[in-house]
Structure 1
């Protein structure tokens, strides 16, 4: 039993060697596919349509033999991998305790058109941590970074971690969660609580994770509950008598969002006309301790809260009531469409006929809904956030305290700023640190970053129709709509939406009717307006007061037109300049090991080049000066003369070729001056 473990671990150690040769992994999977073996999809999707996959992470590679496949297919794939790499471990005879991903959701990253530039590198960093470290020495931030990827949630990523190091990590998939919950173990919802979960499991049940995973599977399939060797605190064991309910709320009358977490709310068993509500018998069955899924019927149909019954049906001056306490407010709501299209909820009462107020859920249906909630709501606890102060910002940014204070004041007053400047002045770097500074901590869950391009549309950004697998269409909310909803549900905290290359998009086309709401005095629910795809007059939207925009704009991009007046009036524009002369730039180079003669050379020659560029206002000018970040070495790089020449050849010369495209002699002269 568990003879799959040695080969899985050996494959994991081998796969992490291919970070710089991902094409080799893709080609290997293509060869397996040619041989008739079913692996993950190898076709990506760009804005232009379907394209071959060109990058791959270790977890998705593992998913090729850990999906809903016949055991013979999985064994055949492993046999080929063993032969291809001349691995020592024997082929497995079974897959006891191995969780598998959905065949249609095997990738651990989005399509190319939706993928962040750092999504796959994040997964590689995590995979190497998983292979090389145990959970006691793990970098929590590495896992949290991956939880920010669009298609990754804690259940899925921990499944991948378990595949690669089954003796060190444990999956919190849908089969495992009820198993551990019934034994009084707190189910994790984020990176921090995941490692607490591993500590608690080890302390109470031991560290034989494959065996625990197998027991969880057997129990989920109806097998007898096995008493494990380590005791479980009975006071925290699961309640077999607990019931699960779904409660509809009409926000025109009352709303779950208006109820603070920890506060109670009552709900009558009679409607406004004095008649018994539909499913009246459910009201009489409700009892303290039951769990309630809080659902709103507008402006968008979605689950937004979890509650617990505190009093069953009882009489009061207002009539018969039930009472419940809100225990959780979801930052990321779960939409009706997401639930409706989940096969495991096909027969769920509130999804087959949503007419009424209170509906019954089975424990299995609740666990499915809970898993979707967990996938979408990765919230770090306060202890996990690294504090970020003005001193931290000044140590990282080549900007004076006075300029930094002024920038923060502009952002807080206008709520919208654009950081503009030539390439390499650190616009994006500053945008993120500006958000961290205002928040006072590095809370990635309250920062969203996208990049505009010429094909970006209102449907991508706000809302639009998207095709369904069955051939129909449904309205899908865009990234900004969802981010606004998160900010609306958390009014006590600031949220930051960073738009890189903001002038590359057609702002009127992307923002549509929301252009008005960008103004700092048009924020809040009182300025709600209907959207293009609103279904009813009551279906309105607003930008909350706690949301801030930070845009970046490259002033040296000749392909872009000047930003129109509508945008300039709504944003405060801040120009950034190269900072070669700053003490911060020198400090960065010296701390990385650059000799003083090289620091002096970089500063003098780049400042001379920028003087030449700025002195050519007819063709170039200040907006084309070259920034200092090209010469800020990345971690582990020792800046020396060879490194300097590489930067000139690979970064600076291509820029100059573009600047003086009609004067190559001028380029050669400038490069000669830099490298002399």
Structure 2
């Protein structure tokens, strides 16, 4: 037994060689067969992990079963050139949580100093000179708490540190070794107390705690924990002996954090100033479920409903009012409860036995009411945004340079906030709208530009190739529409929270194959087909969704009524008449054309623009090919030649099929007396007239 101890000690020292070559450390794990996982970057992409600390290294090795652990360690012995014999057991080694093995966050959320801090702590551990400050900083990292950090310490120096986790805590408490400390120095003193009490190596104490905990779990599972006198027809829930039960929320500003919490083995209070005392009171061992509360129409009446999305047991509470460590059930299947209470706050302690039994699936007889027990008035009292004068689906169309994209930002900000942009001038109003749009982007607003290769898989959901550990594979990709639709739906489904409007701006909407991009969404976008509409519809997405426990199921998609689609369309590229009829009747079209009275259009520029457009309208018999005022804003006579040469001339040549003679005639007619058209070197150019 305990053949792993000398191996871990040498392995722990060897890791120092890889501090400046962390990608190689990742590669060694992958070559040994360890599933490391991909990193996620701020731009929405993912890729091979490029950073790794010693604590996470051990955590990744130990997140698998015993047989795989020994296989990995044997492979690492050869690849890292270790002298110690490969272990034949891992008795007493703490097992890491499979879905939350990292001690740092994804790159998109990670601070630059997070991983270096863990390396700094590692060096202090090896030197036996750990400072309270460094340890405290590491302990404060997102998702890191005493169990994770002390498990890493016990792997690095198994003779000196005991992990404080769900295996050892009850064992130590039973031995009268309850603890309460806030620093590494106090933790280190606690190790001396444990050695003195048991008189044996700490790794042996760890293994004996595991055996004792297994025996206790076995004893509990053989009896009815609620003593109801009713023979259960299913095995008791893992939380059947919990001292208390809680249901909690996981929505932050419309984003569902459930998968993240399950992966990291935590639950976080999303508020800095609410529910702090309630979270501090949650006892270790408490049962906990993540719920989503909403209303459902039953027999013409709105009743309370909840989706139970995750369930587990609280393993640690640092009593800061924000964080709970949770051992989430790995194979949990979400289910819906109707008429079992309306728990809408971020955290509730449960007390009604029938609600506890329903949420935690305990073996207790519960007689459901004949009719739903609660009429939910939330929708009637809900705070809603101010009405806005825009349709749910709108396309701004017109010739180039008429300010379509510019205007969509202002409209999107108005829809999202319910307030028109404020400013002393048009520029100031637009600047305010742009600042609002940017602040809400990724939350209530988003922006995408269509192109010829844009497809359903980019917009809604599909699969895309990914490179993991040198192997090409495929992974689920959720498009911009899917993401904002889920955020809007989450907000719409919570009647006691203020209703928000969400806006997706689709620039150049006519440049993609719309039938291919939208697919079945073409039906769901109609107002009466949206959630809550007279003819509400959902569709089954073609790609299964993967839950946190690894299970897959086909996913239903519906579009909520608080999601606005705002597109732009350049009529010089494609006329409205050429758009799919199905698309045209589902969107409201608003035309934007040259405005000769707009602020910033100077007299000479106005004269040239009006003359050009008069000639184009006469020649083309269509306003689709006019030239917009935006190209000429704030351009004086001196700046006009550059605008005409760089932006207007290419358009005119395209409109007239490359006929330079016709373009020269149009320009010569429109130009003021101080300018002329030069045709030197076979190229038309506008220049000041030589006097």
* Structure label with greater radius of gyration: 2
Q: TM-score, normalised by structure 1?
A: 0.45
TM-score by length of 2: 0.44
Question: Could you say which structure has the higher helix fraction?
Answer: 1
